[in-house]
Amino acid sequence: MQMLSRTAASLFWTGRYIERADFMCRLLDATARLASLPSTYGGDPTAWTGALSAAGVADAFAATGLEPSEAAVTHFLAVSADNPSSVRHCLERARGNARAVRTALTLEAWEALNGAWHEVDRFAGPRFTQGRMGELVETVRRAVLAFDGAAHRTMLRGGAYWFLQLGAAVERADNTARLLDVKYHLLLPRDEAVGGSLDHFQWVTVLRTVSANTAYRWLYRDTVKPWLVADLLIFDSRMPRSLICCYAEIVERLDQLTHGSGKRGPANRTAVTILRQLQDTDIDKVFAAGVHEFIGRFLADNARLGAAVAEQFLF
Amino acid sequence: MMTGAFGHGAGGGASQSMADPFDEMNGWSGEEPRPAYSEVRRWLDETPPEILDTRHAQAELLFRRTGITFNVYGDAEGAERLIPFDLVPRVLTAREWARLERGLVQRVEALNALLADLYGPQEILKAGVIPRELVDLNPQFELAVFGHRPPKDVFVHIAGVDLVRTGPDEFYVLEDNARTPSGVSYMIENREMMRRLFPDLLARAQVAPVETYPDLLLETLRSVAPAGSERDPGIVVLTPGPFNSAFYEHSFLADKMGVELVEGADLFVRDDVVFMRTTEGPRRVDVIYRRVDDAFLDPLAFRPDSTLGVPGLLSAYLAGKVAIANAPGAGVADDKAMYSYMPEIIRFFSGQEPLIANVPTWRCREDDHLAHVLAHLPELVVKEVDGSGGYGMLVGPHATKAQLAEFAAKLRARPDGFIAQPTLALSTCPTLQDGRIEPRHVDLRPFVLTGAKGVQVVPGGLTRVALTKGSLVVNSSQGGGTKDTWVTG
């Protein structure tokens, strides 16, 4: 499917930034819950530091010189101009990219994004207060659903749509992996003595961040077990945010994008390799080799794929 | 955004003073309302002002949601503003339109004939109809394209001719915008907005559609593809980018035509052929509808510091491998000094009398004209010959003594740079202002397309309205708004 390279790049990044804005909102929401519990019930005073790591912006936050208080971290993740991954910044970039290639989107998809930006711009500026965080999370999550729905219902199944979805899938894999990495010390191997009810809320928080609470219960019909959470988020192809599901989608989108020309390139090959690696391993092997190491390798692979996409499609 | 300002102060009209200009709906004061507006009048009478205000707020919300905005230069990056939209349409009858249409076709044919001549045999200069230095010393005259014949000899594919009205049958051409006129997206979006807000009114009034414009534009661009461009010609809209004031319009037109919207960096030239960079490698481009000024088109040929253009583009154009709309160098035909010769130019090329009049214009470059202008400065509007957007202009009746003296000095120092015109009593049109209907001054910019098969005009255009009471400046960069423009019956 032939299209302007700049357009393709902008759509890819529109997809990524929308996905990231959504993830940041989920993270804010879940962390606020966790931090609000008394510590005897699993409440975690370090929850906000953990959120910074999961967002991949711990260094950027440290550079501000602020204490990682709830107020400071919330502000940083929600609206800060110093944070390239803040919800506000992600939406602004998503909209900026989309506006530059406005014609590649349908009116409905563009309006969903543009409307969300104007809405958020009204209250999530420099004077944003923590009291409005719920509103921000709600607005963005609704907007992302509206955008996805508009794209799904109105966009031609062609290059523009596939690049959007490709960007979203690459970002989604990245987000899930980062979340796992931060919580890896909780994701213990089967039968290992666990911290009892204390950790329960932390696992539930992880599931909540990826909208998987109900899915977990449905699939496992069991109380929350750490190894099952890890299995679900890495290997279950029915779970839309699992790494394997993201990679199945990435491979499919790249196939669609190159089907017409028959010119498969480094992005196709890298994606297939990563998917095979995921298919050829299981949760026991991951625990044997170390969750942190496994995730670290995956994140590096995913970054390589991003570079291969840019190379193949001449971004 | 839109270039092409005018500012016409009070007092100069032959029959009417500023206090009561001709009103598009009510005619001269004391007259019966004009029949063309009967549906609009009935609608205004029947609709409570609160409803109009609600609809107006709704329109603004919809425009903002759709992103129909323009950027103001000098504002913080990314500042996007709405052009105020007025709900009360401006109406022309089919008979009035037919007359304007003939005049516009005649005028644009003359512009194209003039350019083909100036960049070719220069018969009009040899005949002494216009002075040679007006061309030779004109910064818009591109020596680089001298002798080149663009495909089908069309230079001005898209013209936005600014018209003003001072009476029932008195129309004047104020400017011929032959470079990159903008505003056509507002013509179409304003209609779309009226259809959404007042579908019944539109149906009753029998308004001629304007939505065919993008198809006609595409047809026009296709028709001038260079000979030998086999297959479906590759057509693109070239924009300076999202920070340009008219970016919305660029994306709108590309979208409606179904062609790519490109920036300079998306194109490259190899062996005098233009390509765009795609995900599957280079794809050939045959026709470029450019919304980038001449000076920025090609850093090798024009401004070397331009990052908006495409190195080698001019060479490809001269090799006949790509068509550029409007053609480089077209600006020589529409500056204000050349404007003053348009009646003679029309007579020279067509042998006919102009169907739409010029505003009488004194050329300060001529001694007797300059003397007249200096003697009557407080009554006149003085403009720079290459100015646009309402900048660098003196509106005599509104100027202070100090401003008049300052301008007189400028005129004496550089008479070549200025022209002067009488202040016209522009017509007014009913306009919604804080819940009340009040008269405001308007102009009209129809869009004229020229392709291989001749000249076409979509029935309508962009009506710009000066929203400040008594103001004559309609430019959107200076607080002007727009209206839907109807051709009915």
Query: Which domain, by its residues, includes A172?
Result: 5-312
CA dist B475 and B174 (Å) reads 14
Question: Which of A3, A102, A110 minimises the CB distance to B279?
Answer: A3
A118 contacts B280? CB cut-off 8 A:
no
How close A145 comes to chain B (CA, Å)? Answer: 17
More confident residue, B435 or A191: B435
A1 contacts B64? CB cut-off 8 A:
no
Q: What is the mean pLDDT of residues B116-120?
A: 97
Which residue, B24, B20, B38, is CA-closest to B485?
A: B24
pLDDT class of B98 with cuts at 50, 70, 90: very high
B24 lies in a domain?
A: no
How far, CA to CA in Å, does B234 sit from each of A6, B152, B224? 17, 18, 12
B281 contacts A314? CB cut-off 8 A:
yes
How close A37 comes to chain B (CA, Å)? Answer: 40
B265 contacts A102? CB cut-off 8 A:
no
Please check the confidence at residue B60 and state whether its pLDDT lies above 80: yes
The predicted-structure confidence for B334-373, as pLDDT tens digits, reads as follows 988 899 999 999 999 999 999 999 999 999 989 999 999 9
Please check the confidence at residue B6 and state whether its pLDDT lies above 60: no
pLDDT confidence of residue A263: 83
CA dist B365 and B367 (Å) reads 6
More confident residue, B330 or B308: B330
A81 touches chain B (CB under 8 A): no
Q: Which residue of A has its CA nearest to B69?
A: A99
pLDDT class of B55 with cuts at 50, 70, 90: very high
- Maximum pairwise Cα distance, chain B: 69
pLDDT confidence of residue B7: 36
Question: Which of A6, A114, A261 minimises the CB distance to B263?
Answer: A6
pLDDT confidence of residue B77: 41
Which residue, B54, B82, B51, B192, is CA-closest to A118?
A: B82
Helices (H), B294-400: 313-318, 336-339, 342-350, 367-375
B398 lies in a domain?
A: no
More confident residue, B82 or A157: A157
B383 lies in a domain?
A: no
CA dist B135 and B131 (Å) reads 8
How close A81 comes to chain B (CA, Å)? Answer: 15
pLDDT confidence of residue B412: 93
| DSSP letters spanning A171-214 | HHHHHHHHHHHHTGGGSPPTT----THHHHHHHHHHHHHTT-HH
B389 lies in a domain?
A: no
CA dist A132 and A125 (Å) reads 11
A5 contacts B263? CB cut-off 8 A:
no
**Count of Cβ atoms closer than 10 Å to residue B84 Cβ:** 18
Question: Which of B66, B247, B279 minimises the CB distance to A8?
Answer: B279
Query: Which domain, by its residues, includes B105?
Result: 35-359+424-488
Question: Which of B78, B242, B266 minimises the CB distance to A4?
Answer: B266
Count of structural domains, chain B: 1
The predicted-structure confidence for A59-83, as pLDDT tens digits, reads as follows 999 999 998 888 899 999 999 988 9
Helices (H), chain A: 5-36, 47-54, 58-64, 70-78, 87-100, 107-123, 133-154, 159-182, 197-209, 213-220, 226-235, 243-259, 266-279, 283-289, 291-312
The phi, psi pair for B401, rounded to 5°, reads: -60, -40
Asked whether this complex has an ipTM greater than 0.95, the answer is no
Please check the confidence at residue B14 and state whether its pLDDT lies above 50: no
B280 contacts A261? CB cut-off 8 A:
yes
Left if phi > 0, otherwise alpha if psi is -120 to 50, otherwise beta: which for B261?
Answer: beta
Contacts of B262 in chain A (CB under 8 A): 4, 6
Please check the confidence at residue B75 and state whether its pLDDT lies above 60: no
The predicted-structure confidence for B241-281, as pLDDT tens digits, reads as follows 988 888 999 999 999 999 999 999 999 999 999 999 999 88
A6 contacts B278? CB cut-off 8 A:
no
The predicted-structure confidence for B365-414, as pLDDT tens digits, reads as follows 899 999 999 999 999 999 888 766 566 788 888 889 999 999 999 999 99
Helix (H) or strand (E) holding B189: helix B184-197
The predicted-structure confidence for A264-285, as pLDDT tens digits, reads as follows 999 999 999 999 999 999 999 9
B29 lies in a domain?
A: no
Mean pLDDT, chain A, as a whole number?
88
- Residue whose tokens read 């919300």: B61
B67 contacts A102? CB cut-off 8 A:
yes
A7 touches chain B (CB under 8 A): yes
pLDDT class of A30 with cuts at 50, 70, 90: confident
A103 contacts B280? CB cut-off 8 A:
no
Least confident of A192-206, B33-47, B469-483: A192-206
CA dist B226 and B274 (Å) reads 12
Least confident of A121-135, B90-104, B351-365, B412-426: A121-135
Question: Which of B66, B254, B279 minimises the CB distance to A111?
Answer: B66
CA dist B362 and B23 (Å) reads 28
B28 lies in a domain?
A: no
Question: Which of B65, B261, B279 minimises the CB distance to A114?
Answer: B65
B396 lies in a domain?
A: no
Please check the confidence at residue A196 and state whether its pLDDT lies above 60: no
pLDDT confidence of residue A44: 65
Q: What proportion of chain A, given as a percentage, has pLDDT over 90?
A: 56
- What angle is formed at CA A280 by the lines to CA A275 and CA A283, rounded to 5 degrees? 105
Touching B: A residues 254-273, CB under 8 Å: 257, 260-261, 263
Helix (H) or strand (E) holding B278: strand B273-278
Write the burial class of residue B376 (CB in 10 Å: 0-12 exposed, 13-18 middle, 19+ buried).
middle
Please check the confidence at residue B16 and state whether its pLDDT lies above 80: no
CA dist A301 and A289 (Å) reads 17
Which residue, A157, A121, A78, is CA-closest to B67?
A: A121
Q: Which residue of B has its CA nearest to A262?
A: B280
Q: Which residues does residue B172 pair with via DSSP β-bridges, in sequence order?
A: B164, B357
Which residue, B372, B316, B397, is CA-closest to B9?
A: B397
Count of structural domains, chain A: 1
B446 lies in a domain?
A: yes
Q: Which residue of A has its CA nearest to B275?
A: A4
Contact predicate A35/A70, CB 8 Å: yes
A6 contacts B265? CB cut-off 8 A:
yes
CA dist B270 and A261 (Å) reads 23
A3 touches chain B (CB under 8 A): yes
For chain B, which residues lie within 8 Å of any Cβ of chain A, measuring from their own Cβ?
64-67, 78, 241-242, 247-248, 251, 254-255, 260-263, 265-266, 276-281, 283
